[in-house]
């Protein structure tokens, strides 16, 4: 019984240590063992009356090598608690590799949107960019989602691309 209690305590301490590491414990990359993502809660949706579309990389594009994703929103920027995240899968084996959250969304001018990109189907778009660092390994498929600090899982933005 004593060994069971010690083993249980060790598992709790190890779990707490892992959860406290790196980017709030919410990041997994295609080059590392997946780490915890937020516990599913209320599903996310964009704010009321706000339209959102991924414009870069274009949906279904291949050979993407940049770590940047750009969305168009209207009629106003997203609140600061919204973030993009991607689910990553190995294209050849169709194996899920994890979930990674991007950096804080930043409003950018249209002239900074990488090309080619989509034209959003709504008027007066505002462009927001999120950087994902060096996670875009060759041969992976990325699907883009929108979430905020109050909810998870996010809204599927119906955009995926391959590296």
* Contact yes or no for 133/68 (Cβ under 8 A): no
pLDDT value of position 30: 36
pLDDT value of position 133: 78
Query: What's the CA gap between 50 and 75, in Å, rounded?
Result: 6
How many contiguous H segments (helices) and E segments (strands) does the chain have? 1, 8
Tell me the mean pLDDT in the region 153-161. 92
Answer with the residue of higher pLDDT: 52 or 33. 52
Which pTM does this prediction carry? 0.73
Highest mean pLDDT among 13-27, 36-50, 96-110: 96-110
pLDDT value of position 25: 31
pLDDT value of position 40: 63
pLDDT value of position 91: 81
C-beta pairs of 157-161 under 8 Å, 24+ apart in sequence: 157/52, 157/53, 157/54, 157/71, 157/84, 158/54, 158/59, 159/53, 159/54, 159/57, 159/59, 160/59, 160/60, 161/57, 161/58, 161/59, 161/60, 161/61, 161/62, 161/64
């Amino acid at each position: 019984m004593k060994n069971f209690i010690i083993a249980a305590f060790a598992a709790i301490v190890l779990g707490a240590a892992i959860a406290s590491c790196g980017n709030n414990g919410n990041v997994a990359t295609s080059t590392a063992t997946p780490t915890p993502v937020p516990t599913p809660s209320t599903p996310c949706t964009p704010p009321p009356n706000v339209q959102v579309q991924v414009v870069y990389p274009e949906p279904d594009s291949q050979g993407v090598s940049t770590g940047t994703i750009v969305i168009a929103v209207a009629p106003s920027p997203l609140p600061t608690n919204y973030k993009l995240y991607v689910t990553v899968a190995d294209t050849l084996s169709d194996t899920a590799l994890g979930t990674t959250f991007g950096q804080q969304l930043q409003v950018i001018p249209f002239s900074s949107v990488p090309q080619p990109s989509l034209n959003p189907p709504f008027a007066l778009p505002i462009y927001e960019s999120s950087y994902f660092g060096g996670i875009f390994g060759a041969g992976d498929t990325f699907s883009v989602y929108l979430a905020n600090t109050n909810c998870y899982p996010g809204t599927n933005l119906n955009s995926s691309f391959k590296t």
